[in-house]
Amino acid sequence: MRITIITVTYQAAAVLQRTLDSVSRQTCQDIEHLIIDGASKDDTVKMAKAYQEKVPYPVIIQSEPDHGLYDAMNKGLHKATGDYLVFLNAGDTLHADDTLSTLNSQLSTLNPQSPAVIYGDTAIVDSEGKFLHLRRLRPPKQLTWRSFKQGMLVCHQAFYVRTDIAQQEDYDLQYRHSADVDWCIRVMKRAEEMRLPLVNTNTILADFMEGGNTTQNHRASLKERYQVMCHHYGKASTIVMHAWFLVRQLFR
């Protein structure tokens, strides 16, 4: 199984190398790495090109102006040619050097019914990659699209989607901070329609650097998440659950 890793960057020279190093250290290198850059003016593209020359797997670099994070992610989505894809943005890393080997091993036992999604846990790390704690929202044993009624229980970086399914669902550009939540829900709905499983790897798949885009724009993200949840779960249910989210934030 080839896995496409999509890394979206913009002025990311300060944090990109850790992501590139994480991918290059993988013991399984049946990888396609797409680096979708928003016309950075720092050394982001230079770093990506140096990486491209060193690794044995294909690295495709595209640098041009875009309309924000999710527009860039859509570009990467439609360039992917692997069997599965995952978004691992600048500063994020794969949890261990054998993460992709573990995924491939699990996938090989599931054929011929390839799952729509394979998912796992996420560790929160500091700017030096030091483990801080597991992500507060944890993956359920059995994930469905209804699970996200309780919040985004699976981090985007630990959510691997079969490429043919992922490419049927673009990110909705009306959302600036929470389009990933909406996208994951729509992918899982499509999986249910196709009667394809979502498989828990029961392992940590990704390290997420504390202070990412959603963290930095927390209030705006909450507003958008409310809109996403109203759309998918109905207004009454969303009001109850969102009230709980707000209480939970106050007493963290």
Rounded average pLDDT over 168-175: 96
Distance CA 226, CA 244 (A): 12
The answer to whether the CB of 179 falls within 8 A of the CB of 172 is yes
> What is the share, in percent, of the chain residues with pLDDT greater than 70?
91
Q: What pLDDT score was predicted for residue 111?
A: 60
User: Which range, of 103-112, 134-143, 169-178, averages the lowest pLDDT?
Assistant: 103-112
Return the amino acid letter for 244: W
Rounded average pLDDT over 6-11: 97
Tens digits of residue pLDDT in 54-76: 999 999 999 999 999 999 999 99
Q: What pLDDT score was predicted for residue 136?
A: 86
User: What domains appear along the chain, each with residue ranges and CATH number?
Assistant: 3-213 (3.90.550.10)
Q: Please give the structure tokens belonging to residue 213.
A: 């885009």
Beta bridge partner(s), residue 35? 7, 61
Beta bridge partner(s), residue 59? 33
Strands 159-162 and 84-87: antiparallel
* Cβ within 8 Å of residue 137, ≥6 positions away: 150, 151, 152, 153
Tens digits of residue pLDDT in 71-114: 999 999 999 999 999 999 899 999 999 999 999 998 888 765 78
Q: What pLDDT score was predicted for residue 216?
A: 54
